[in-house]
């Protein structure tokens, strides 16, 4: 699979996040997690305020249509998000989770966003365009987003804010496969570790590959094994606190001609088997909670 092909798929996914039509729902799996220590300032989010953020008018109808696949309330509760925490989201793309985190943290917490800038020259223009569109979106709605601090992550370094042991939570959603391809996964995990306070939580959601999938297959298909993520996070110093099936999708057979990008919202294959992929829904995903000891 060529770099151009994957780049195009990645761009389509970002655009689709903001503009896709409502999709049919799929059956979600129930929560299953291990007992685990909680991070600093850990507190379950007030249901009313989180519900208000998820139901707020700042979210578009296409964004809401993805809730059936992404389970934002359950996912953020699993990561022990609290309203007074200082949170860093990595690679927000078009801002799907920003639309929830910004109003939720606006009054009592702090939200930082780090757009990812690849070390690959052929992705530089795409990453710059994503960053510019994201900042414009935030600037156009200061009532919701004026307190959000936006910086960048490039070559294992944050720019635009102080990151040394500053955060209660670091979140990343469906980005690991891109960092494997970019050769920056380990550098990124190390900088996440440094950015978290002791006891802080790294929350990871990622497309889940079958056990035994090779690293090259992960790059080509966008699906990553849980064992690979856990191994590299532990090498950076993290402790696996819990894993959840919140974002599992047993309908996802993971054997498509265009990898994970065959599925919604990307539909890389166009109209070929589109109804089949729509019925499957978005990808089967791991949801992992790591703690900085």
Q: What is the CATH number of the domain that holds 73?
A: 3.40.50.150
Q: How confident is the model at residue 44 (pLDDT cuts 50, 70, 90)?
A: very low
Find residue 196's DSSP bridge partners: 167
Residue 257 is predicted with a pLDDT of 97
Q: What tens digit of pLDDT does each residue of 63-87 get? A: 999 999 999 999 999 999 999 999 9
**Torsion angles phi and psi, residue 84, rounded to 5:** -110, 10
pTM beyond 0.75, yes or no: yes
Q: How confident is the model at residue 267 (pLDDT cuts 50, 70, 90)?
A: very high
- How many domains does the chain divide into? 1
State the residue range of the domain holding 39: 3-291
Mean of the per-residue pLDDT values for the chain?
Answer: 88
What token pair was written down for 193?
């570790």
Residue 8 is predicted with a pLDDT of 40
When pLDDT is averaged across residues 268-289 and rounded to a whole number, the result is 98
**What is the distance between the alpha carbons of residues 240 and 230, in angstroms, rounded to a whole number?**
7
**Torsion angles phi and psi, residue 230, rounded to 5:** -65, -45
Residue 258 is predicted with a pLDDT of 98
Q: What tens digit of pLDDT does each residue of 245-259 get? A: 999 999 999 999 999
The angle at the Cα of 126, spanning 93 to 201, to the nearest 5 degrees, equals 30
């Amino acid at each position: 699979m060529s770099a151009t092909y994957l780049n195009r798929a990645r761009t389509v996914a970002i655009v689709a996040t903001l503009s896709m039509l409502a999709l049919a729902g799929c059956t979600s799996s129930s929560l299953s997690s291990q007992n685990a220590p909680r991070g600093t300032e850990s507190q379950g989010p007030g249901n009313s305020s989180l519900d208000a953020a998820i139901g707020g008018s700042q979210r578009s109808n296409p964004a809401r249509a993805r809730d059936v696949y992404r389970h934002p309330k359950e996912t953020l509760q699993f990561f022990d998000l609290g309203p007074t925490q200082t949170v860093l989201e990595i690679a927000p793309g078009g801002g799907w989770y920003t639309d929830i985190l910004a109003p939720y943290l606006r009054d009592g917490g702090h939200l930082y966003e780090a757009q990812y800038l690849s070390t690959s020259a052929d992705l530089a223009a795409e990453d710059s365009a994503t960053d510019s569109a994201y900042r414009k979106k935030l600037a156009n709605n200061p009532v919701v987003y004026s307190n959000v601090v936006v910086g960048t992550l490039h070559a294992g370094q944050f720019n635009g804010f102080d990151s040394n042991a500053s955060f209660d939570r670091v979140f990343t959603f469906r980005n690991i496969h891109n960092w494997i391809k970019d050769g920056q996964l380990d550098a990124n995990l190390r900088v996440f570790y440094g950015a978290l306070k002791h006891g802080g939580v790294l929350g990871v959601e990622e497309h889940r590959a079958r056990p035994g999938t090779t690293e090259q297959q992960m790059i080509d298909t966008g699906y990553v094994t849980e064992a690979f993520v856990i191994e590299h996070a532990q090498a950076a110093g993290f402790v696996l606190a819990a894993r959840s099936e919140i974002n599992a999708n047993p309908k996802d057979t993971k054997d498509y001609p265009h990898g994970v990008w065959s599925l919604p919202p990307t539909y890389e294959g166009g109209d070929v088997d589109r109804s089949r992929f729509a019925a499957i829904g978005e990808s089967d995903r791991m949801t992992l909670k790591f703690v900085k000891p």
